[in-house]
Amino acid sequence: MQSLGVIVEYNPFHNGHLFHLEQSKHTTDPDVVIAVMSGQFLQRGEPALVSKWTRTKMALTNGVDIVVELPYAFATQKAEVFANGSISILSALKCTNVCFGSEQGNIGDFERTTIIMEEQKPLYDLLVKEFINKGYSFPKASSLAFQQLMDGRENVLDLTKPNNILGYHYVKSIREQKSEISAFTIGRTNAGYHDPEFNDSPIASATSIRKHLFDHDGDIEKVQRFVPKPTYELLNRYIKQTGSFHQWEDYFSLLKFRILCSTSSELSEIYEVEEGIEHRLQQIIKESHSFLEFMTKLKTKRYTWTRLQRICTHILTNTKKETMHRVMTQSHSEYVRLLGMSRKGQAYLREIKKELEIPLLSKISGFDSQMLEMDVRATNTYAMKFSEPTRSNWMLQEFSKPPIRFDEVENKFL
């Protein structure tokens, strides 16, 4: 069977995602579509707008057949680690193709650039180190080193673009893992990745959709033309059931508590807390009245907004360096956590189940793994914005909720 893999956050699933999914299907003609999706916290170090279960429903009602969770250990990391975990899961599920969106839109450029970077890695690493020593952040230093290395070469990637960066690491991970997955890319159209405002196009960035929802207290009417009907209905249901969408401001008090009730030494044990930034965190949080104010004061040339958000996420979830380093000794996932499936997806899993080399989890009770414990802590933290008994119900749901089942023929959940 031909299977198509997509690596997603769907925060939320919008018309641009639908376009990518339809074009990916047209390009690869798959029998089944598998989505590896981030859980409750995302790659840019922020809580997902809605829960992973609601985003799973968005995926299934818009044409995905299998949704599996990208573990926290990969989902809240820089592009290279994020890609390694995602590709390892698709490989474990015997996926034949992966298709990602990119600004470049030409898979040959990705493959060419990956080969050049393999050949020039010692020089590239040296250039990155030189730029970091000049005070640049790691992403900026990497970008400058790449530009210098590729100067004068034709048909190579523009690695200043966020989707090109992720795509490059997907292709690189496929090569490094010696995976049999074939890579394809679809060029992005209309709205840019971080465009903060709507325009006349029916395709808007997820950033602009979230900004509107936060700026207008969850009013979803204006986002209707930018999302498929099932997404709109699910967003509407979520806001009615929970009262609000998730954003960093919901967790600021908890973050402030965690930072101020920790010693500098304890904070220095948190993953990604480096170079004495724990002292800066403790000082600035005392004088900050919101997460936005805190981040604005905290940001420096050396630390990007994204990296600082990831640090805050790891503080919030108490993710320590020792634990992360232990679970990341291998660059692949220890398991596949199944969140949802269509009938077609269920048939595919039944067919490949005996070939799986890592456990396929439909429920997590009874499975012992530090990587999985990090996922559970992430859900517990995500639930803290609610009051009781909703909070406890969400925490218990992590262990008891079975995968969501969707009948694509009848267009209903089972």
Distance between CA atoms of 181 and 90, rounded to whole angstroms? Answer: 8
352 marked ligand binding residue: no
366 marked ligand binding residue: no
For residue 245, give both structure tokens. Answer: 């969408």
Query: Token pair 């960035």 is at which residue?
Result: 205
17 marked ligand binding residue: yes
Provide the residue type at 212 as one letter. Answer: H
163 marked ligand binding residue: yes
Query: Token pair 């992966």 is at which residue?
Result: 98
14 marked ligand binding residue: yes
Distance between CA atoms of 32 and 5, rounded to whole angstroms? Answer: 9
Assign 96 to helix, strand or coil: coil
8 marked ligand binding residue: yes
9 marked ligand binding residue: yes
Q: Which of 29, 178, 5 is nearest to 93 (CA)?
A: 5
Distance between CA atoms of 394 and 386, rounded to whole angstroms? Answer: 9
289 marked ligand binding residue: no
34 touches 98 (CB < 8 A): no
Contact partners, residue 209, CB within 8 Å, separation at least 6? 12, 14, 223, 226, 227
74 marked ligand binding residue: no
CA 79 to chain centre: 9
For residue 83, give both structure tokens. Answer: 């890609």
Angle between helices 138-150 and 107-119 (to 10 degrees): 90
Provide the residue type at 130 as one letter. Answer: E
Provide the residue type at 159 as one letter. Answer: L
Alpha helices in 120-263 (DSSP H): 121-133, 138-150, 162-176, 206-215, 229-242, 252-260
The DSSP bridge partners found for residue 185 are 100
* CA-only gyration radius of the chain, Å: 21
12 marked ligand binding residue: yes
20 marked ligand binding residue: yes
13 marked ligand binding residue: yes
126 marked ligand binding residue: no
Known binding positions for ATP: 7-20, 101, 163, 188
Known binding positions: 7-20, 101, 163, 188
